[in-house]
Amino acid sequence: MITIRKANVDDCPLILEFIKGLAEFEKLSHLVVTDVKTLEQSLFGERQAAEVVLAFLDQRPVGFAVFFHNFSTFLGRPGVYLEDLFVKPEQRGQGIGLELLKHIARIALERGCPRFEWAVLDWNEDAIRFYKRLGAEPQSEWTTYRLSGDALKKLAQS
């Protein structure tokens, strides 16, 4: 049986384990610098940056999703942005990812959010097919840009 629940501060070691699993899958393990303490502060501290839900299969932790609110100026309302979705490889294909997405979709509607958005790596064809089956539409007219590291510092100090 699949169950989904909101994470709490005691789940930070498990959240970190899932983050590392996702990074390994995405071939980005070298970019993971967070630790349990940072997650505790960022997710459950004074200014909570995101929310996490955990998936369990027969009471065993098997996946997670991290999401936060964004804002549409055109709609004048917040939306939900899915930062990460991860299911352990050995549990994929059992509906766990779908249950995580359904859970967040319900949260979005309960909070009056008209949008639920996320990004997917262009090489992740399984995920792309899965999202399209749900009715999600790629937003190909937008290109994501990112400032980080020295470029971010340079802009901030200019």
CA-to-CA distance for 95 and 72, rounded, in angstroms? 30
Q: Tell me: the pLDDT tens digits for 110-158?
A: 999 999 999 999 999 999 999 999 999 999 898 889 999 999 999 999 9
CATH class of 2-157: alpha beta
DSSP string, 24-67: HHTT-GGG----HHHHHHHHHSSS---EEEEEEETTEEEEEEEE
Share of the chain above pLDDT 70, in %: 100
Show me where the domains of the chain are located: 2-157
How confident is the prediction for the chain on average, in pLDDT? 96
Q: How many C-beta atoms surround the C-beta of residue 111 within 10 A?
A: 12
Across residues 9-31, what is the average pLDDT?
97
- Determine the pLDDT at residue 34: 98
- Determine the pLDDT at residue 17: 98
Of 108, 110, 98, 103, which is closest to residue 135 (Cα–Cα)?
A: 98
CA-to-CA distance for 148 and 97, rounded, in angstroms? 30
pLDDT at residue 106 is higher than 90: yes
Q: Where are the alpha helices (DSSP H) in 45-148?
A: 96-110, 125-134
Share of the chain above pLDDT 90, in %: 96
Q: Tell me: the pLDDT tens digits for 40-61?
A: 999 999 999 999 999 999 999 9
Catalytic-residue membership of 145: no
- Determine the pLDDT at residue 143: 86
Q: How many C-beta atoms surround the C-beta of residue 106 within 10 A?
A: 11
Catalytic one among 64, 67, 81, 131? 131
Of 145, 3, 137, which is closest to residue 63 (Cα–Cα)?
A: 3
pLDDT at residue 100 is higher than 90: yes
